Amino acid sequence: MTHEDTRTPRRYVALVVIGLVAGFMSGLFGVGGGVLIVPLLVMFVGFGQKRAAGTSGALIVVTAAVGVVSYAAHGNVDWFVAVLLAAGGVAGAPIGAHLLHRFNEAVVRWVFVAFLAAVMISLIFIVPDRGAEVPIDIWLGIALVALGFVTGILSGLIGVGGGIVVVPVLIVVFGASDLVAKGTSLLMMIPTTLVAAWRNFRNGNVDLVSAVTVALATVVTTPLGAIVAGVLDPQIANWVFIAFLAVIAAQMAVRAIRAAR
């Protein structure tokens, strides 16, 4: 799509479709949707990478908030765990953005692909218990802040949303229900994303009209994704999530190869 095309009604149709798809995926997997929104804005709306990332980060605040309400309505949000994760995430994100200019991007992406591969293998052997809760003590609290911190750094380094890291780790390491992991992940994203969104807005990397258009579309389908997540059998939900992570890992591997070149 050319730059001229982005000024026509066709642009808004593309934005609405992107929002509908991203909203459903966000509700289903407990992720912000940035891993999907950014490449779609680049491919179908003609955005540059920085503007796409900035616009995506701004609208994810709305998407995540709608997702939290949907999961919280069924008691699938651990508010205290989310606060601990967010505290670490807010501290880690600026560090990741700073390290972006110091680390080899291809190496960082390959490390992340290896992490996703390990998570996918672990999820094959673990079926989430939907009655499980995360038991909090001082050490687990520190571990959750550390998880949020690492997630924030990764977010700043390679632009991944917190849910891609937080959801599987809460399930595999902390023994959380898959639904609680998704709802808590969405809540954790809101303050973390707000910090990045404000910075991107000040840097002129947010298209407000596009962000509002996509965000309004996600409001329609995010609750639907959360409903489907709750209806799915835990084992089937696990396999669907593994397939989603495989797509993300493949996408990251392609970017790592390009970055190495």
Domain layout of the chain by residue ranges: 5-260
Which of 261, 61, 244 is closest to 167 using CA atoms?
Answer: 244
Contact in structure between 19 and 213 (CB atoms under 8 Å): yes
Per-residue pLDDT at 111: 80
CA dihedral 234, 59, 148, 250 (to 10 degrees): 60
Report the alpha-carbon distance of residue 166 to residue 77 in Å, rounded. 13
Per-residue pLDDT at 6: 47
Per-residue pLDDT at 4: 41
User: Cβ atoms within 10 A of the Cβ of 11, count?
Assistant: 18
36-58 residue pLDDT tens: 888 888 888 888 877 888 888 88
**Global confidence as pTM:** 0.81
Contacts of 254-260 with C-beta under 8 Å, sequence gap 24+, read 255/109, 256/105, 256/106, 256/109, 256/110, 256/113, 257/106, 259/104, 259/105, 259/106, 259/109, 260/106
100: DSSP letter = T
195-207 residue pLDDT tens: 777 877 887 888 9
Report the alpha-carbon distance of residue 136 to residue 138 in Å, rounded. 7
Identity at 164, one-letter amino acid code: I
Report the alpha-carbon distance of residue 169 to residue 164 in Å, rounded. 9
Report the alpha-carbon distance of residue 73 to residue 70 in Å, rounded. 5
10, 39, 235 from 20: Cα distances, Å? 16, 15, 26
Report the alpha-carbon distance of residue 123 to residue 241 in Å, rounded. 9
Give the pair of three-digit tokens for residue 198.
């404000």
Per-residue pLDDT at 158: 65
Per-residue pLDDT of the chain (261 residues; tens, 9 = 90+): 444 444 578 889 999 999 999 999 999 998 877 778 888 888 888 888 778 888 888 888 899 999 999 999 999 999 999 999 999 988 987 887 677 667 776 777 788 788 888 888 988 888 777 777 788 889 999 999 999 998 888 776 666 667 888 998 999 889 899 999 999 999 998 887 887 778 778 878 889 999 999 999 999 999 999 999 999 998 898 899 899 889 888 887 887 787 666
Contact in structure between 251 and 112 (CB atoms under 8 Å): no
